Amino acid sequence: MTIPVWIPRKYDSRFSLLGAMADELAIAFDAKGYEVIDGMPDGSRVGIYIFFNMPPSLDAIPPAARRMNSRVAVIQILVDHPLALDAGIMDQTSKLPNFRLALPSLDGLHLLRLRWPQLRHGHMPHGIPREALATQEQCSPAVFALRDHDIVAAGSIHDEQGIRELKWSLPAQTHPWIDEIVGLMCDEPTMPYEQALDCVCGSKSVITGNWPMAVGIWRACMADFNRKRRISIVESLQGLDVAVFGGEAWKEICTGSLKYMGPTNYCDIPAALATGRVCLAWGPSQFPQTFSERLLLSMASGCASVAEDRYLVRQHFMTTGDESHLVSFDPRQPGAARVAVEDLLANPDRLELIAKNGRAEVEAHHLWEHRVDKLSSLASEALSRTLTPQTTQPA
């Protein structure tokens, strides 16, 4: 018995991120024996409909998946913070018994059931495609030593004008709150936005439970915090050979030994990272305890990865000893990233070992093909029936 899976491929996202992820996931489902179908389900077959982040409207979700007693499980994979959800659409989808939300991140998880009491969700770590793995030849000691850069980093930041526009879209009274929240998060980078919002606004007797206002302030705060945080880390590496891939806002930042390499689409990130021996694999700023696909891509590219010490990083990867998959640093300590990078560059044998271990760990446990069973499990739960392809055994 084959199980049909429908995965929309067209998204309006920066650097073509979501469309690439959808393509990668479709390939993984196909490899696992599912019938991946273009188009929309019509309700005639039991199957799984999967989409990333938010649809442009409720109507973008097939009617066959929204009707009562639907035979189609609906899985939404959110690769952003819960505050990025469209509340109006979620007010409707959260009530569907056949709907499940799959979350790579656990930050802000409590907000979901507080806002949507009927919502059912599950944790699914990020995944990447097998094609992102560097070849064994690319990881050989001779080739590895000839990579173009000692250190690579990839990621976007807003320019200052973009941050100002986000603030100006909000009431003037919120502007000092935003500045104070960002300052607090810079001092305490492991503090989640919701806690910083409560501390700053609550101390001024401002009630913080208004969802639309919390979302608007979150967008402004995250843009500013992300810019300040990433620039601070990169500038701490001044004097070392660093290549930075990202949007043009980096151009004015990259001076001296910091080289701006230009913007990079998501599908080109593995090749960009493979030009470095060490990768500064920073996590997403909106998630203080979660890692993103960027860390997986770093390890897959054969880099020795350096990342912030985060709860989910410790849960999934070894960070000490000869079996280390990466090196972590304390984000609360200025200069800690530089110390970690310099220690690796000064010890080529350890650098190569960590690069090798990291790639092997991703290949064994963190490809999209390793996430298919979890998504199938969520869909099976949603429809109260098993949605796994049954292979016919030869007689």
Per-residue pLDDT at 391: 59
Examine the domain organization and report whether 25 and 109 are in the same domain: yes
Examine the domain organization and report whether 34 and 77 are in the same domain: yes
Bridge partner residues of 328 (DSSP): 307
Query: Is residue 246 assigned to a domain?
Result: yes
Write b or e for each residue in 165-176: b if 16 or more Cβ atoms lie within 10 A of its Cβ, otherwise e: ebbeebeeebee
Query: Is residue 390 assigned to a domain?
Result: no
User: The CATH number of the domain where 120 resides is what?
Assistant: 3.40.50
Interacting residues of 340 by C-beta distance below 8 A, sequence separation 6+ = 306, 327, 328, 329
Query: Is residue 170 assigned to a domain?
Result: no
Give the amino acid at 338.
R
Tokens linked to 224: 């500013």
Examine the domain organization and report whether 115 and 248 are in the same domain: no
Tell me which residue has tokens 């970690």: 340
Q: What is the DSSP letter of 191?
A: S
Q: What is the mean pLDDT of each run of 10 residues along the chain (395 residues)?
A: 92 84 96 94 96 94 95 97 95 96 94 94 96 92 93 96 96 96 96 96 88 94 97 97 97 98 94 97 94 96 97 95 95 94 96 96 98 97 90 45
Half-sphere exposure of 366 (CA within 13 A, CB side): 25
Report angle CA 64, 67, 72 to the nearest 5 degrees.
Answer: 50
Dihedral (C-alpha) 262, 285, 208, 200: value to the nearest 10 degrees?
A: -100
Examine the domain organization and report whether 154 and 104 are in the same domain: no
Per-residue pLDDT at 395: 40
User: The CATH number of the domain where 322 resides is what?
Assistant: 3.40.50.2000
Interacting residues of 151 by C-beta distance below 8 A, sequence separation 6+ = 237, 240, 241, 242, 243, 276, 277, 278, 279, 280, 341
Interacting residues of 80 by C-beta distance below 8 A, sequence separation 6+ = 53, 105, 286
Query: Is residue 178 assigned to a domain?
Result: no
Examine the domain organization and report whether 120 and 56 are in the same domain: yes
Burial (0-12, 13-18, 19+ Cβ within 10 Å), 376: buried
Give the predicted TM-score (pTM) of the model: 0.95
Query: Is residue 310 assigned to a domain?
Result: yes
Bridge partner residues of 260 (DSSP): 244
Residues 113 and 104 sit within 8 Å (Cβ to Cβ): no
Per-residue pLDDT at 16: 81
Examine the domain organization and report whether 109 and 144 are in the same domain: no
CA–centroid distance for 303 within its chain:
19
Per-residue pLDDT at 2: 87
73: nearest Cα among 369, 389, 386 = 386
Examine the domain organization and report whether 293 and 325 are in the same domain: yes
Dihedral (C-alpha) 182, 187, 188, 190: value to the nearest 10 degrees?
A: 80
- Distance (Å) of CA 256 to CA 146, 237, 239, 241: 22, 10, 7, 9
Examine the domain organization and report whether 295 and 321 are in the same domain: yes
Per-residue pLDDT at 165: 97
Per-residue pLDDT at 44: 94
**Strand stretches in the chain, DSSP E:** 4-6, 35-37, 47-52, 72-77, 99-103, 121-123, 149-154, 242-245, 258-262, 276-280, 304-308, 327-329
Give the amino acid at 331.
P
- Distance (Å) of CA 183 to CA 61, 229, 338, 346: 40, 10, 22, 34
Examine the domain organization and report whether 138 and 83 are in the same domain: no
Examine the domain organization and report whether 238 and 277 are in the same domain: yes
Query: Is residue 173 assigned to a domain?
Result: no
Q: What is the DSSP letter of 83?
A: G
Per-residue pLDDT at 196: 97
264: nearest Cα among 285, 243, 235, 291 = 243
Query: Is residue 208 assigned to a domain?
Result: no
Burial (0-12, 13-18, 19+ Cβ within 10 Å), 107: buried
Query: Is residue 181 assigned to a domain?
Result: no
Tell me which residue has tokens 């070894």: 318
Examine the domain organization and report whether 234 and 98 are in the same domain: no
Q: Which domain holds residue 256?
A: 130-158+226-365
What's the rounded Cα separation, in Å, for the pair 382 and 324? Answer: 38
Per-residue pLDDT at 394: 43
Examine the domain organization and report whether 255 and 361 are in the same domain: yes
143: nearest Cα among 282, 277, 311, 308 = 277
Please say whether the dihedral angle defined by the alpha carbons of residues 217, 123, 21 and 62, taken in this order, is positive or negative. negative
Q: How many domains in the chain?
A: 2
